[in-house]
Amino acid sequence: MVKQKVLVTGGAGFIGSFIVDELVRDGHAVRVFDSLEPQIHGPAGKIPDYLNKSEKVEFVRGDVLDYGAFREAVKDVDVVFHEAARVGVGQSMYEVSRYVDTNTNGTANLLNILANEKHSVKKVLVAASMSSYGEGAYTCSKCGPVSPELRSEKQMSQRKWELSCSGCGSILMPVPASESKLLQPTSVYAITKATQEDLVLCVCRAYGIPAVSLRYFNVYGPRQSLSNPYTGVAAIFMSRIKNGSPPIIFEDGMQSRDFVSVHDIAAANMLAMKSGAADYGIFNVGTGRPITIMAVAEAIARIYGKSIKPTVTNNYRKGDVRHCFADISRIKSRLGFEPKVSFEDGMRELISWADKASAVDMVDKATTELKSKGLVG
Ligand SMILES: NC(=O)c1ccc[n+]([C@@H]2O[C@H](COP(=O)([O-])OP(=O)(O)OC[C@H]3O[C@@H](n4cnc5c(N)ncnc54)[C@H](O)[C@@H]3O)[C@@H](O)[C@H]2O)c1
Ligand SMILES: [Zn+2]
């Protein structure tokens, strides 16, 4: 492929930095545009040590809400990966305007630039999210496929965790969620991610700039922010297991998610950049395999060689979905994507990195904070 000049917004973050590495490996020139948010990068807003040190990488500290700075960053690039966002689902429920500002208005700025300024952008890839689905896809043995709403407060308070069919009352079976599944976002974060996708596809289509939306599932791996209390159950479990305390599990632990390694996410981004078959498309990026939260806790305990049994609280978090995992047939058939990292290998890699990282003194501050806002039942 011809060498390109590529802008990665949020390129100092967890996922963005791996995209940067892949781009450098392929010989492209990369500009990272990132505000170095204190919640992710510490109060001093330091460029992370892991950021690719190649001379092909230019770092620009800037905010997607700063139109002038963003315009300069976009000016001479061929491709844009838009990864910059605020990423806390729980936090988005009480920092509503900050999430809408960064995620929605930041994306709007990018599109204003593409619509109104001189530029050479030939492709835009946007990081979308499985969170926009809300509940995953289900099927009823009697009534067929259904796309149920979130479990009611009443149902949750009765500790009835599985979903039942609104037609006949049978317990529903989770099935892979395809891209055509109804979007039923259940958090401000999820709404902004769905909006980002809609905005990018709509405006880019209008101006004939090929755009791709990649709906990432639950991404994990080295460099994920351990000091940020919102970025993932694996990091929170790790900190507890490492310190000899049991991980705290909501519901009964049988809820499931699709945990996908950051390496597979970066690979999917490269395929989508290179392939014309991706243009104007929406693609799930996951493994297609559901893993229960209990299995995550058990795998981490196993890897640490500790015989700690998780504490099942039977508490719940408002807005949590029961099961959601990806149907990846579209990205497989159109882009030739194949997830390569097994869950066990990926967890081992995450743990060996976290053991070396300096930020291991994590606490599950997330739960404490959500509790203080009345978001845990
Ligand atoms: N991690 C996941 O499981 C997951 C799942 C689905 C989608 N995503 C999406 O992937 C993208 C990357 O997420 P991540 O997990 O790497 O998060 P991250 O927090 O590690 O990275 C985001 C980066 O964006 C930067 N940023 C935040 N606000 C900014 C602003 N106003 N201007 C410029 N830069 C800003 C941050 O400093 C950070 O470096 C996000 O769009 C996120 O919504 C992530
Ligand atoms: Zn039914």
Amino acid at site 67: Y
Amino acid of residue 273? M
Establish whether residue 14 lines the binding site of ligand 1, counting it when its CB lies within 6 angstroms of any ligand atom.
yes
pLDDT at 186: 92
- What is the pLDDT, as a whole number, of residue 364? 44
Q: In this structure, which residue's CA is closest to atom 19 in ligand 1?
A: 13
Read off the pTM.
0.94
189 is a catalytic site residue: yes
- Architecture (CATH level 2) of domain 5-372: 3-Layer(aba) Sandwich (3.40)
Per-residue pLDDT, 360 = 44
Query: Cα separation of 288 and 284, whole Å?
Result: 9
Place of tokens 């989508």: 272
Residues 6+ apart with CB under 8 A from 49: none
**Residues 249, 310 contacting (CB under 8 angstroms):** yes
Q: Which residue's C-alpha comes closest to atom 7 of ligand 1?
A: 129
138 C-alpha vs ligand 2 centroid, how far in Å? 10
- Cα–Cα distance, 204 to 208 (Å, whole number): 6
- The residue to which tokens 């305007």 are assigned: 97
Give residue 355's pLDDT.
83
Which residue puts its alpha carbon closest to atom 28 of ligand 1? 85
Element housing 285 (H / E): strand 281-285
Ligand with minimal distance to 170 CA: 2
pLDDT along the chain (377 residues), means of 10: 94 98 98 96 92 98 98 98 95 96 98 98 98 97 95 95 96 98 95 98 98 97 77 83 91 96 98 98 98 95 92 90 97 98 96 73 48 60
Q: Are 81 and 269 in contact (CB under 8 A)?
A: yes
- What is the predicted pLDDT for the residue at 214? 99
Q: How far is the CA of 166 from the centre of ligand 2 (A)?
A: 7
Nearest bound ligand to the CA of residue 216:
1
- Distance in angstroms (rounded) separating the CA atoms of residues 147 and 134: 10
C-beta of 77 in contact with ligand 1 (< 6 A): no
* CB distance 35 to ligand 1 below 6 Å: yes
Dihedral in degrees, nearest 10, Cα atoms 155, 159, 162, 165: -30
The pLDDT assigned to 154 comes to 95
Q: Comparing C-alpha atoms, which of 152, 19, 7, 10 is closest to residue 86?
A: 10
Other beta carbons within 10 Å of 252: 16
Q: Whose CA is nearest to atom 30 of ligand 1?
A: 63
Identify which ligand lies nearest to the alpha carbon of 138: 2
What are residue 5's DSSP bridge partners?
A: 29
Beta-strand pair 123-129/144-146: unpaired
Q: Say what the pLDDT of residue 255 is.
A: 96
Ligand of minimum distance to the alpha carbon of 146: 2
What confidence score (pLDDT) does residue 356 get? Answer: 81
Q: Which of 117, 106, 127, 126 is nearest to 210 (CA)?
A: 126
Annotated active-site residue in 189, 220, 230, 316: 189
Ligand 1 centroid–CA 83 distance in Å is 5
Q: Is 258 in the pocket of ligand 1 (CB under 6 A)?
A: no
Using most ligand atoms within 8 A of CB, pick from 37, 49, 224, 225 the residue to mutate for ligand 1.
Answer: 37
* Per-residue tokens: 52: 């690719």
Nearest atom in ligand 1 to the alpha carbon of residue 40 is 19
**CB of residue 16 inside a 6 A radius of ligand 1:** yes
Atom of ligand 1 nearest to the CA of 189: 43
Closest C-alpha residue for ligand 1 atom 9: 127
The structure tokens listed for 353 are: 């990195």
* Residue 169, phi then psi, degrees to nearest 5: 85, -5
Q: Which of 7, 8, 15, 197 to probe ligand 1 with, by most ligand atoms within 8 A of CB?
A: 15
Q: If you search the block for the tokens 């099942």, which residue do you land on?
A: 312
| CB proximity list for 163: less than 8 A, separation 6 or greater | 135, 138, 148, 151, 171, 172, 322
